[in-house]
Amino acid sequence: MALVKAGVVVLDCAEPEKLAVFYKELLEAEETDATANRVEIRGADGTRLAFRRDVNATPPSWPRPENSLQAHLDFLVGDLDEAERKVVGLGGRPLETSHAPGPYEERGYADPAGHSFTLRRVPSTAPKQG
């Protein structure tokens, strides 16, 4: 039997309730636990995130070097434009990410509390037509 049952990525923020709503909508998730200082959600694919209250939380400054990357999330999507519209509609904002390295098309964003995350396009595995 495994000692660790599951892992949860926890983001510190000033208002966990509000940040949980952003990610619940983005991931089509459900709230699985909530206390006065912490909210946990689980996405349809099993992704587990929690948001912990820290009244002194300082948003990361990425891509600027000072107070840069504290945590980073990647989400795989089929349509970057559609996903971007949803992120922005939920209160997220695009970040400057020109010339991002890697084999996948990707775009960087910040959630409403300032945590950075990336949307990466999943390349189609269907055979090329025509």
The pLDDT tens digits for 60-111 are 766 666 665 566 677 888 888 999 999 999 999 998 655 555 545 888 899 9
Residues paired with residue 39 on neighbouring β-strands, in sequence order: 34, 51
Place 31 in a pLDDT band, splitting at 50, 70 and 90: very high
**Residue 2 in tokens:** 């495994």
Q: What is the pLDDT of residue 101?
A: 53
Q: What is the pLDDT of residue 74?
A: 77
Q: What is the pLDDT of residue 91?
A: 97
User: CA 52, CA 12: separation in Å to the nearest integer?
Assistant: 5
pLDDT of 32 above 70: yes
Q: What is the pLDDT of residue 75?
A: 85
User: CA 28, CA 37: separation in Å to the nearest integer?
Assistant: 22
* DSSP class of 45: T
